[in-house]
Structure 1
Amino acid sequence: MSRRSRLVRPFASLALAAATVAGGVAVGEAQAAPELRNYVKTIRCDSANPFPAPRVPITVDVWNQVRFPSDGLPGPAIELIASSPRPQGLLPNTGIYTMSTTVNWHNVTTGKRGVVRVPTRANRITWQAVLHPGAGQVNFRITQRIGALVFVPMVNPQVSTCRGSARA
């Protein structure tokens, strides 16, 4: 049972009790809303900083069973959502990053392979990739190319790689 279902269920019972006390007719227990995606895990994918600043800590949240993926294609899918905890740069809120993220994935159950490329520009490290591998165990390799935006994009690019897996 998901965390959200555990939180919603007591409130659904309260609604059922309130309807009964108010004289309403209840035809069974209220159902919790179905989950739109399932959290799998968080992986670390830290990178060197293209600005003269400390290394950038980056977490990538892995979600599967995504019913309505952000790319607009039909689900289910796997979503990878990366973020750094705060803006990095020479001074707070002054650094702009350009990112080019590539995710190579392999569904080891079906043998299907694919590549997703995500270009991003923001004042902190953040990107989102959606994989449509079909059902099965999926291994993926994330390659992040992160550069500073200083009059032109991708100045002093830094490359980092990490791996993960999820069941689709």
Structure 2
Amino acid sequence: MLAAGCVAVPQAHASPYGAEYVRSIRCDSANPWPGARLRIVVDVYTGGPFPTDGLPGPAITLSSNNPGGVGPVLELTMLTTVTWRNLSTGRTGTVRVPTRAHTADWDVVLHPGRGAVRFTVHQKIGAMAFNPMVNPQYSSCTGTAVA
């Protein structure tokens, strides 16, 4: 039922590849170009039958988005490193993803096995100005999910 004003309707979040949305975490970074900080939201998904890397699950997918980015002319180069630890089994791992784009967007798939997983995202974001990674900026954030 709609009344005057806005009504918030809870919706199930699902990724394009059928995984379940868990939560979003903020992983903002200083901008390597002169300008405002980069507002980076990392969405966490689990349970997808077909992770984007093509390997079988269980998997945890981290997908960042940076609305607006640095505009249509300027570019960013990024090296995203995610370290993880399965708290149930003790298993650990690291995934590195290099990216080049107009926005600080990247996707990382973790294969930690079943159980609770703590992960840390380390971002190195630089300006693409005739050379990659000019004026690199560093940021990190942490989260948890159950695979």
Q: TM-score range by the shorter chain?
A: 0.7 to 0.9
Counterparts of 1:152 and 1:69, CA distance in 2: 33
What is the TM-score with the length of structure 2 in the denominator?
A: 0.88
Gaps of 5+ in 2: 1-10
Which residue of 25, 29, 49 maps to 1:67? 49
Q: What is aligned with 1:147?
A: 126
- Superposed CA offset, 1:136-160 (max 9, x none): 0000000000000000100000000
Runs (4+) of structure 1 exceeding 2 A deviation are none
RCO comparison, higher one (Cα < 8 Å, 6+): 2
- Written as runs of structure 1 = structure 2, the 5 A alignment for 1:53-132 is 53-88=35-70, 92-132=71-111
Displacement of 1:3 in angstroms is: 2.9
Matched, 1:47 2:29: yes
CA contact (8 A) 1:68 1:76 kept: no
Point out the structure with the larger helix share: 1
Gaps of 5+ in 1: 5-34
Aligned sequence identity (%) = 52
Supply the RMSD in Å over aligned alpha carbons: 1.4
- Superposed CA offset, 1:31-59 (max 9, x none): xxxx8211000000000000000111000
Find the structure with the greater CA-based Rg: 1
- Superposed CA offset, 1:69-90 (max 9, x none): 11111122100000101131xx
Q: What is aligned with 1:159?
A: 138
Counterparts of 1:111 and 1:57, CA distance in 2: 32
CA contact (8 A) 1:78 1:132 kept: yes
